[in-house]
Structure 1
């Protein structure tokens, strides 16, 4: 791949990672490229699974919808010839599981999941996750407040912290 094409790809990826709803014409202007070139590169990167999907970040706290997000650390026994892959696959196939990562440190996997209540998440961990062959232990952490998510600040600042003074 030539350097110009690779540079265009990197710039496209950097921009759409933060602004996935951008108009292709607008993106082409921002990058100083032809719209057709941007569209072709994006289609090619989708085909190559470099671009894996497009997501919308929603602040569910502002919708009134009850939703609990949990981060679950999982310690497992890796399997011969498969390592952590088999257990990770079983976990990511559950519809309530949002993400599964192999991590360094005292735990092996980090599972992100969503449920309607703390009890629902706890039930998932105790009834589905913990009994799996190879799972040694888990530690569940509930998200209480999101300050920043996927690069987006989720809290709004007050306009001014100063107290108005009148004479």
Structure 2
């Protein structure tokens, strides 16, 4: 069953027949196991990884380090839940080290991201500090390498 999860994570577009062949299971076992994974929230969803730099969509992604005061009996969970409710927030992770949460957000502009951090995130009651890092270029995500865009050939003129 672990093999099936790995195959789904690598390419969720594989058919049940392909998954059965690659995992050594029957098609019926694959269908039943996937249904169970979905019901038990082991598989949360299926997503395409898009290289937005190859499109005309303008967007800014930021990684924000957040320091918070944990709440008695709830730890960091209540603060994390408040943060992940915002539409701009793509991911929230509890971290070890110098800060408590990593928040990944996207916006249309640097200003929009800065306003989110300054007006919404930093003003939350239990947030004691933030540090924002803008992602300038993605090289690899979820084991997939972002290929370089084909460079246009330059015409050289010699005199």
Shift of 1:27: 1.1
Shift of 1:33: 1.7
Q: 5 Å matches for 1:12-161?
A: 12-156=4-148
Give the TM-score, by structure 1 length: 0.87
Asked if the contact 2:54/2:149 (under 8 Å) is kept, the reply is no
**Rounded Cα–Cα distance in structure 1 between residues aligned with 2:148 and 2:106:** 24
Deviations 1:70-106 (A, max 9, x none): 0000001111111111110100000110011000010
**Rounded Cα–Cα distance in structure 2 between residues aligned with 1:10 and 1:83:** 31
The RMSD of aligned alpha carbons is 1.2
**Rounded Cα–Cα distance in structure 2 between residues aligned with 1:114 and 1:108:** 20
Shift of 1:63: 0.7
Q: Which runs of 4+ in 1 moved over 6 A?
A: none
Give the structure 2 partner of residue 6 of structure 1.
none
